[in-house]
Amino acid sequence: MNHALKLSFAIALALVAISGCSRDYDTTADDAARTDTPAADATTPSADATGAAPTTAPEPGTAPSTPNAPATGALTQGQAVALVGAVDKHEIAAAEQARGKKVTGEVLDFANLLHREHSTNLQAGEKLGMSETSPEVTAMEEKGRSELATLDQQTGKDYEKAYIDAMVKGHQEALSLIDDRLLPAAQDANVRAFLTNSREHVAMHLERAKSLQQNAGATQ
């Protein structure tokens, strides 16, 4: 009887031990499953072979942005002064041409006025000591020479009318240039004062040229 009891007790202990090993195995497997590397998030960009995250490509037709890109058509102060100088030189040359064509009366007075005031303004710009050449200045000078060559083909009253028409057109263009591009480029107080004074004279010359243009039309 004692021997049978001992055998039953031994069998019970063996079953308990086997059950415990099974639970340990299951727990270890669960722990291993929980420590596996999680799947990559589909919304997170993966690194390339170099370890760097890929950059987002720009949409088709979209130019890449450049920080602090200069504004189109921006001028330096020196270029602004040089452009006024180009206007002055052209008006001086046109006045000298008009004198050579023997214009008379109010047209001659106007040519003398332009020669005098644009000469004074040219000297004022040169005294600033900051004139800076540019392709735009060169193009303006070439345009002025071409216009004078065309104007030179006229004579007599036809020349006087063509000269006044050219002065209206030229001073309108100069006024727009000063307002739209030259004054915004001025940072130095002396440069701004020079450009402001230049504008005042150009505006006055434009009004005078328009008056002569109207008078010429009324007398025809």
Is 8 inside a domain boundary?
Answer: no
CATH of the domain at 128: 1.20.1260
Is 188 inside a domain boundary?
Answer: yes
Is 162 inside a domain boundary?
Answer: yes
Q: What is the pLDDT of residues 123-146, one digit of tens each?
A: 999 999 988 999 999 999 999 999
* Integer CA distances (angstroms), 183 to 91, 143, 144, 158, 197, in order: 20, 22, 22, 36, 11
Domain residues for 160? 84-219
Is 13 inside a domain boundary?
Answer: no
Residue 69 is classified by DSSP as P
Nearest alpha-carbon partner for 129 in 94, 166, 81? 81
Is 6 inside a domain boundary?
Answer: no
Is 22 inside a domain boundary?
Answer: no
Nearest alpha-carbon partner for 126 in 174, 172, 89? 89
Is 65 inside a domain boundary?
Answer: no
**What is the pTM for the complete model shown?**
0.66
Q: What is the spatial distance between Cα 215 and Cα 52, in angstroms, rounded to a whole number?
A: 76
How many domains does the chain contain in total? 1
Is 93 inside a domain boundary?
Answer: yes
Q: What is the pLDDT of residues 198-209, one digit of tens each?
A: 999 999 999 999
